[in-house]
């Protein structure tokens, strides 16, 4: 076998011995499914026996591809809102599984860090639109193919994957109506498009059954904020409240803690429903009824659409169904 650069074999040497083209060798070593499995295995065996390694950096430079997708998180992780929550951890599981299967890597960043020094990547997955879509406006200035986790309602400019938040809100309202609840409060910040959709769906269904929304109190997605908002609702409306819909499970559980402290029985006096179906919802006492999102499938779709955009393909937004999970609350 002919050797170059200090007796190191070249891709041409591997191709000659395998009886294939150099592009087939390149694809085989990159794990490309266009090459038959048997051929891939044979090429890899020859390369390993000859001590040949694919120069990934050189290949990417030549193809003007990094084979890396940036995953940018809009939220700033805190002790009260950690990375271990379903958003974003469960989403990330689906994303990384899909990217790794395609032979791509994921680069994780927060929105502020990404905008401050944009890295070389083939596309961006943005997890969260931000209040007033601030995160979207910031990231799209980087001029990279972009897929967003959020709400596609009233947005035809971007590729968005998200849950049917409007339907989720309607499901919560229907459950309250079925229980005979008439006076509800909503806890969550409608400046976030997803939360606004949940509130709109809830209002439309609840009012259609003769229910009254006593208050919609803005709050962040944490236990403490949910507790603060519930305290404010009780101070204003007291015993009139018989239903609480939290825009997230954390908000709903924070609200439930306040109700318990005040001696208000759940669900005998007040019914509580959250959104997300976090693991903690099943462990909470009483266990929390909630709206379940399909996190893993959502992550997989975000990744597959980002890969398609990176290849110059056109992709459409997609909204996934949600389901209500009825528990003790």
pLDDT of residue 142: 81
Domain enclosing residue 196, as ranges:
165-292
**CATH number, domain containing residue 266:** 3.40.50.2300
- Residues 83, 198, single domain; the answer is no
> What is the DSSP secondary-structure string of 32-45?
-TTS-HHHHHHHHH
197 touches 255 (CB < 8 A): no
* 28-32, 203-207, 231-235: range with lowest mean pLDDT: 28-32
- Helix (H, G, I), strand (E, B), or coil: what is residue 141? helix
242: in domain: yes
Please check the confidence at residue 5 and state whether its pLDDT lies above 60: no
Q: Are residues 91 and 152 in the same domain?
A: yes
Nearest to 185 by CA among 220, 236, 254, 257: 236
Residues 121 and 153 in one domain: yes
Q: Is the pLDDT of residue 270 over 90?
A: yes
* Coil, helix or strand at residue 285: coil
Classify residue 217: in a domain, yes or no.
yes
Residue 115 token pair: 């905008």
Residue-wise pLDDT for 63-119, tens only, equals 567 889 999 998 777 777 777 777 788 899 999 999 999 989 999 998 888 888 778
Do residues 48 and 72 share a domain? no
Tell me how many domains the chain contains.
3
Nearest to 266 by CA among 282, 238, 289: 289
Q: Is 50 exposed, middle or buried (0-12, 13-18, 19+ CB in 10 A)?
A: middle
pTM, rounded to two decimals: 0.79
Does residue 119 lie within any of the structural domains? yes
Q: Of 158, 156, 135, whose CA–CA distance to 145 is shortest?
A: 158
Phi, psi of 290 (to 5 degrees): -160, 170
Q: Which DSSP letter does residue 221 get? A: S
Residue 329 lies in a domain: no
Residues 6 or more apart whose CB falls under 8 angstroms from that of 71 comprise: 92, 95, 106, 107, 108, 109, 124, 125, 127
Mean pLDDT, all residues of the chain: 89
Q: DSSP string of 160-195?
A: EEEE-HHHHHHHHHHHHHHTT--EEEEES-TTSHHH
pLDDT in tens, 9-54: 888 889 999 999 888 887 788 667 778 889 988 998 998 888 886 6
Together in a domain, 237 and 147:
no
End residue of a domain, out of 63, 79, 102 = 63
**CATH number where 20 lies:** 1.10.260.40
């Amino acid at each position: 076998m002919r050797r170059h650069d200090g007796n190191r074999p070249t891709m041409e040497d591997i191709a000659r011995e395998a009886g294939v083209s150099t592009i087939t060798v390149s694809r085989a070593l990159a794990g490309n499914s266009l090459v038959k499995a048997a051929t891939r295995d044979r090429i890899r065996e020859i390369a390993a026996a000859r001590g040949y390694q694919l120069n990934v950096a050189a290949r990417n430079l030549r193809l003007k591809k990094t084979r890396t997708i940036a995953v940018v998180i809009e939220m700033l992780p805190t002790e009260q809102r950690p990375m271990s929550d379903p958003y974003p951890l469960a989403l990330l599981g689906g994303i990384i599984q899909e990217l790794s299967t395609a032979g791509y890597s994921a680069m994780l960043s927060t929105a502020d860090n990404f905008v401050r020094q944009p890295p070389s990547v083939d596309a961006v997955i943005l997890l969260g639109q931000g209040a007033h879509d601030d995160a979207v406006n910031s990231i799209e200035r980087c001029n990279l193919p972009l897929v967003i986790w959020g709400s596609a309602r009233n947005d035809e400019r971007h590729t968005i994957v998200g849950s049917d938040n409007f339907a989720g809100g309607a499901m919560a309202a229907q459950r309250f109506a079925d229980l005979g609840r008439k006076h509800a409060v909503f806890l969550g910040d409608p400046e976030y498009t997803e939360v606004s959709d949940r509130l709109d769906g809830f209002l439309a269904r609840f009012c259609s059954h003769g229910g009254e929304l006593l208050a919609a109190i803005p709050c962040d997605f944490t236990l403490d904020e949910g507790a603060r908002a519930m305290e404010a609702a009780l101070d204003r409306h007291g015993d009139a409240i018989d239903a609480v819909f939290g825009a997230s499970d954390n908000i709903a559980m924070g609200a439930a803690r306040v109700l318990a402290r005040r001696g208000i029985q759940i669900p005998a006096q007040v019914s509580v429903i959250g959104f997300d179906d976090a693991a903690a919802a099943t462990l909470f006492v009483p266990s929390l009824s909630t709206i379940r999102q399909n996190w893993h499938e959502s992550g997989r779709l975000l990744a597959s659409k980002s890969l398609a955009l990176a290849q110059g393909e056109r992709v459409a937004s997609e909204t996934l169904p949600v389901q209500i999970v009825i528990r003790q609350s």
